[in-house]
Amino acid sequence: MKILVCEDDFMMLKTIEHKLLREGYEVELAQDGKIAFELLRENQYDFVITDLLMPYSTGLEIIDLIRNQLKQTIPIIVLSKVGMEKTVLQAFDMGTDDYIVKPFSPNELSMRIKRLIASGR
């Protein structure tokens, strides 16, 4: 399973990468929205994990690209320090499958990925 992780915090990005690689996933990284857009247009992914606030584009713009422009139904998890109800609901309305408020443990992220895969997302 090929996962794209979009996160501008380098330490968070590497922590997520380490956990996912240990679990046997193929992982590609994007440290800003511009790189994420390029990778999404050029490659096929089975899963996307994206930070909400990044340089050059937001996680919401990435959801829009995946759902409305590329017409893909792959699972998406949004990561964010923002846990306000309005923001969370907007992300779900745009098509995210899960929303995790930072800080979180790598084990929590792993469990949520497995849950989405098991549910057929």
C-alpha dihedral over 72, 58, 99, 121, to 10 degrees? 10
Determine the Cα–Cα distance for residues 55 and 69; give it in Å rounded to an integer: 20
**Which residue bears the tokens 């998890």?**
77
Enter the pTM of the model: 0.95
Is 3.40.50.2300 the CATH classification of the domain at 2-118?
A: yes
Q: What is the mean pLDDT of the chain?
A: 96
**Confidence band, pLDDT 50/70/90 cuts, at residue 10:** very high
Determine the Cα–Cα distance for residues 21 and 73; give it in Å rounded to an integer: 23
Determine the Cα–Cα distance for residues 44 and 77; give it in Å rounded to an integer: 16
Rg (the chain; Cα; Å): 13
> Tens digit of pLDDT for each residue in 102-112?
999 999 999 99
> Tens digit of pLDDT for each residue in 28-74?
999 999 999 999 999 999 999 999 999 999 999 999 999 999 999 99
Residue 102 three-state SS: coil
Out of 1-10, 12-21, 27-36, 82-91, least confident range: 82-91
**Confidence band, pLDDT 50/70/90 cuts, at residue 84:** confident
Boundaries of every domain in the chain: 2-118
